Amino acid sequence: MLTQRTPDDFKEGPQVDFLEDHAFFARSDRYHELLDPSGSFTLEYMDMILNMRARNTSAWYVPTARCIFDVDVKKITWEDLPYLVYKRSEQIGHQVRKYLTNKWGVEFVNTGIWNYVRYVMLADVVLEGSSLPTDWKDQAAVFFSWFESVGFNRYNGQYLPDFIEEPTADAVNVSRSMEQTLPTEVPPHRVPPRSAEEVLPRQQRKKIGAIDISFKEPHLPIGVRQRSCDASAPASYAACGLAVQDGDSCTCWTYVVPFNLKTTLYLDKLMAWMKLPARAFMYGQMKYWSLPIDRDSVDLFCDRSQEQCNYQVQFSKNARVLQWSWFGHQSKGTFTPEGLAIGAALLVMVFAPLIFSSSRVQQWFGIKKQQLRNFAALNQMVCNHAVRS
């Protein structure tokens, strides 16, 4: 079994080591102890299971229980955009990390999960025509949400939720600030009865072969291309990201992503078919296969370590959004260098034992049977580790 699961794995009982937080029941008079609103933007599942452990309890797993958690990127509407891009922004992610670190007394590493979720949810979104709002205030909210989605976090010095309550039609200074001003102090009623070090096992050293999932840099670089378009010809901005008409002018902005988000040899679909974590493949792309942004090919660039990055835009009363997307209507390529490299490595791991099992091949390479057994054992170990991850 590729999932390495057996019927004995699915037994009713306490679920101590893992909490699937999509749905569970709790007593109404105790639920407030489990769910902390200040930690609910991301990493909330870690906070909730720690809250349970600190109180000597856990979730009770029932194999026959069912919950449909339907997250379909094809169902995203313009109403989702302001909340989604703010909730999964870097500033919120780091605020929650700092808050939970203060709360539990252990470091919550920079996994960049907020960037990953934003990429998964928005990479293929294209909203246009009737999918966009008609009211100007809603249009302005959608417009400025695009800049939040690519990494900006201040609008005339305000956070996005505050700014879009009363957006201005004048020129707006859109910027990215690295200053953390959101609250991270833990109120007295949220201090847990025991710290994380008191409830978690201590590991003497890191396991050999364990993958480091943390990112060293807290922020991603921002790259944006800007060009003109023709509002009367949708084909002129079909391959753009955000297209806006303002009177006789038409402007489009396209996000230049620092990672390869395209399909790489259909490995994501292959992993899904094999019941392997396809999302982990995209996460690996983000960590190990970054794409340096060519500064000469973009109209706006913010380095990952740049303290202040400013850009001036305007959404006048006559402006309207024609299209909201990162990249517009673009087909995904079948082959990429990363996909070919990973595909070749997988083929070697799968077929090498079969090839080297031939006595002629062994003699030609001068391989002894004991060496072949060691190689097969190493191959099995690597495969097992990948599956369990």
Tens-place pLDDT, residues 335-375? 666 666 767 776 777 777 666 666 665 566 565 555 545 44
Q: Dig out the tokens for 77 from the structure.
A: 């509407």
Looking at the DSSP assignment, which residues form a beta bridge with residue 301? 223
- The helix/strand/coil state of 50 is helix
What is the arithmetic mean of pLDDT over 255-263? 79
Q: So what's the pLDDT on residue 156?
A: 98
- The helix/strand/coil state of 382 is helix
Q: What is the pLDDT of residues 145-200, one digit of tens each?
A: 999 999 999 999 999 999 999 999 999 999 999 988 899 999 999 999 999 999 98
Rounded alpha-carbon distances, angstroms, from residue 323 to 60, 152, 161, 248 = 46, 19, 22, 17
Q: Which residue has the tokens 């099995």?
A: 380
d(CA 355, CA 361): 7
- Sorted by sequence, the CB contacts under 8 Å of residue 301 that are 6+ apart come out as 221, 222, 223, 224, 293, 295
Band the pLDDT of 5: cuts 50, 70, 90: low
Residue 99: its H or E element: helix 90-104
Contact (Cβ atoms closer than 8 angstroms) between residue 299 and residue 252:
no
Asked if pLDDT for residue 130 goes beyond 60, the answer is yes
Residue 37: its H or E element: none
Instruction: Please tell me the pTM assigned to this model.
Output: 0.81
Q: Dig out the tokens for 300 from the structure.
A: 């706006």
Asked if pLDDT for residue 138 goes beyond 90, the answer is yes
d(CA 367, CA 375): 10
d(CA 262, CA 340): 13
Q: What is the pLDDT of residues 30-43, one digit of tens each?
A: 888 888 989 877 77
